[in-house]
Structure 1
Amino acid sequence: MADDGGAKRLKKTSQDGVAIAEVTELRRRVEELRIRNAELESENERLRSDQRGRRREEGNHEVLPAVMTVTVTVDLSRVDTDLITHITSFLGTPRELLDLALTCKSFGWRQPATAFNWSLVEEVARQTVFSRATDAEMGCLPRYVRGVATWLSILHGHEHLLTFDVLLGSNIEHQNGDKTTIYGTGDNESSVAVSCGYVMTSGSHYAEFQISGSSPFIGIVRPMPGLDASAYKEEEFDFIGLFNFFPDFLAQRSDEWGDGNVHACEYNCGDGQKFWTDWEIGHAEWENWEGMEYCETGDTIGMLLNLVEGTLTVYKNNRRLGVMKDGLSGSYCWHAGVGQDGDTVTISKARIPTMAPSSPN
């Protein structure tokens, strides 16, 4: 029995030793983990500290994600030309079409495969001109000549058909460099501007004139491209009231004038009267006419020159006043004049009003 007790004690002692050894090993591993954990916490704290420092230096900006740019190349020669032409037609203005032509050679270079050997942009400009310009306007535009006039330049000309190209007299200027607007710079001394780049020889032509002041006058006059504008810069100027200028005007006569004797005709904004002359010395007519009305600042005067019927019809704020002058034939240009400091006139293209005639106020 004594031996059995000793064996039990030996077995228990052996088990206790194993348990102690296991506990010791566990404690060692726990200590290693504790030390490693402390090291990791220290490293994390250092990293956090470094990050806070960088944020202070960089103004606390967040780091932006990296963006990769992928360039995609499209072979425009594979795209249907008719489709591009149709889409491009919605651009509309010469400036936009020119920008497109500069984008790539597929748009701006000549296309040998086309019937006329010009660029896609030129073809769009040509189509735009023919779709927008009336027959009468086409007659006022330059013709396409390779190397001289492009379709882009012709389209630009159509958009700027009505400008006051020539100033005559000492008291008139363009407003802020805008050739569509003139204003007076003197008192009781008339000066005149002419839209000489738009010569009307046939058909119907309509223009509107926005008025400021009570002294402007607007109307039609014979084209005189050889008239020396600089010769009249220092004095008052008028197409109708200054008889001493009539010989200068008649010296400019051409076959375009035809056989008609109405060489200048004006609507006076101050009282609505019409003035006209055949430039014979001493002849100028100041007349009332049916439908006559005066206008004032803010009014818009429309003028319809019908060279088929030979009439000049006047509109006021889109309301037809009536035919101011008949018996017209030959070629004419629009003109406008100012007589007082601050008088202004702006010329613009417009559609002929379709409203029925109204009785005067």
Structure 2
Amino acid sequence: MADDRSSKRPRTTSGASEKSTCDDARIVALESENHALRQQILRSDAENGRLRQQLQCQGDHEVLPVVTIRPTVDLSRLDTGLVTHIVSFLGTSFELHNLALTCKSFGWQQPATGLDLSLVEEVARQVVCSGRNDVDGARTLSPCVRGTTTWLSVLRESEHPLKFDTLLGCGIEHINERKTSVRTGDIVIDDIFTVGAEIVTAVASNYVMESGIHYAEFHIAAGDPFICIVRPMPNLDQSRYANDNFSFFAVSLCDDFLAERTVEWGTGNVHVCGYYCKNGQMSWTNWDGGEQFGVDWEGMEGCETGDTVGMLLNLDEGTLAVYSNNRRLGVMKDGLSGSYCWCTTSVGESALAIERCHPPLA
């Protein structure tokens, strides 16, 4: 019987050899993959280096042109009532005025839209007629229709009321219903201190200036009035002086004025200061012995009938400057502080109007 132990011998050598072959093949595959990754990294590094060199070379790269596209809006496609409603949320006449200057669709009359007025004028009309600004829209409608004024100007007036609401002395009256113009008697005199001449005063007491910058224009229609600033005296009895001459420069009335003093006057020493239209001289007083009358100042000029005198009160700097027909003459008085009102004092025949507006640019 043949010995068959050889057939029963374990085949360990062949199995180990096959496993070793598989491991070698896997190692070779991994090495090949790592080599490919290293090559890819090298190519990436080379590309990054090339890009860095391009960025470092000033002027070697091409600059792409910048194209600006201006968006346009066809306002004719929007409902007029909707646009009017949106514009009505603007707060002031100044904002409406700026809007009117932006394009014709807002500032010009557009019959095709069904509005008899421009969009801005229509919004101003609605605000005025609504009574939001305490303006009688029915009273101002007639002059607006006649073209003598605009709804925007009426709105502006309602926002910044400036009128001679206090008349002191005899022989003075308002020229218009808005109380922005006054006139005095027909007495003709040669000198402001002529005995027997009527001296009267009109005050814009509804507009008290306590801080900031304020500008008003006075349109001279006749005479040579004083244009002044004066302390507010809301409790001054107008009826007491209805039949007499009245001036804030009258020495006999100083005690009456000082009795009306309030904390708003502050500690300033100038209670009334005026510009004499005839020759441009300045006068001021504190109603207690401190005073100067007929003072010359740098830039001083008089004015004539038909001229417009501008007064710029700067309470931040404490100065009062004078303009003549939109031309700045100079600072007439400094050292001002506390609260003031605009006023005018006339001797004999005179007529003038007051208007609040923006100061001239020059």
1:75-90 matches, within 5 Å, as 83-88=83-88, 90=120
The 3-state SS of whatever aligns with 1:177 is: coil
In the alignment of these two chains, the number of paired residues is: 225
Letter in 2 for 1:322: G
Distance 1:160 1:309, change over 3 A: closer
**Alignment of 1:238 onto 2:268:** no
Q: Is the 8 A contact 1:273 1:292 kept in 2?
A: yes
TM-score if structure 2 supplies the norm length? 0.57
The 3-state SS of whatever aligns with 1:195 is: strand
2: CA distance between counterparts of 1:330 and 1:282? 17
1:137-286 matches, within 5 Å, as 158-187=158-187, 188-240=197-249, 242-281=250-289, 283-286=291-294
Distance 1:233 1:282, change over 3 A: farther
The Cα offsets for residues 107-143 of structure 1, whole Å up to 9 and x where unpaired, read as xxxxxxxxxxxxxx96xx7xxxxxxxxxxxxxxxxxx
Distance 1:210 1:96, change over 3 A: same
The 3-state SS of whatever aligns with 2:359 is: coil
TM-score if structure 1 supplies the norm length? 0.57
1:109-148 matches, within 5 Å, as none
Unaligned segments of structure 2, at least 5 residues: 1-78, 91-119, 134-154, 188-196
2: CA distance between counterparts of 1:346 and 1:352? 17
Residue of structure 1 in register with 2:347 after alignment = 339
The 3-state SS of whatever aligns with 2:207 is: coil
The Cα offsets for residues 87-116 of structure 1, whole Å up to 9 and x where unpaired, read as 4453477653354x5xxxxxxxxxxxxxxx
The Cα offsets for residues 176-218 of structure 1, whole Å up to 9 and x where unpaired, read as 4340001111532210000001100000000000012342110
Distance 1:348 1:184, change over 3 A: same
2: CA distance between counterparts of 1:92 and 1:236? 46
2: CA distance between counterparts of 1:180 and 1:352? 18
2: CA distance between counterparts of 1:83 and 1:285? 57
2: CA distance between counterparts of 1:270 and 1:333? 22
Distance 1:95 1:252, change over 3 A: farther
Q: Is the 8 A contact 2:87 2:123 kept in 1?
A: no
Q: How far did 1:280 drift? A: 1.1
Q: Is the 8 A contact 2:285 2:291 kept in 1?
A: yes
Q: Is the 8 A contact 1:164 1:195 kept in 2?
A: yes
**Alignment of 1:97 onto 2:127:** yes
**Alignment of 1:353 onto 2:360:** yes
Unaligned segments of structure 1, at least 5 residues: 1-78, 102-120, 126-154, 356-361
**Alignment of 1:322 onto 2:330:** yes
**Alignment of 1:299 onto 2:329:** no
Residue of structure 2 in register with 1:29 after alignment = none
Runs of 4+ in 1 over 6 A off after TM superposition: 79-82
The 3-state SS of whatever aligns with 1:280 is: coil
Letter in 1 for 2:169: G
2: CA distance between counterparts of 1:298 and 1:98? 31
The 3-state SS of whatever aligns with 1:259 is: coil
Distance 1:80 1:180, change over 3 A: closer
Q: Is the 8 A contact 2:84 2:123 kept in 1?
A: no
Q: Is the 8 A contact 2:223 2:351 kept in 1?
A: no
The 3-state SS of whatever aligns with 1:196 is: strand
Q: Is the 8 A contact 1:186 1:339 kept in 2?
A: no
1: CA distance between counterparts of 2:122 and 2:315? 30
Q: Is the 8 A contact 1:94 1:156 kept in 2?
A: no
Distance 1:231 1:319, change over 3 A: same
1: CA distance between counterparts of 2:125 and 2:255? 43
The 3-state SS of whatever aligns with 2:267 is: coil
2: CA distance between counterparts of 1:98 and 1:207? 23
Q: How far did 1:271 drift? A: 1.2
Q: Is the 8 A contact 2:182 2:353 kept in 1?
A: yes
2: CA distance between counterparts of 1:184 and 1:302? 21
Q: Share of identical aligned residues, percent?
A: 49
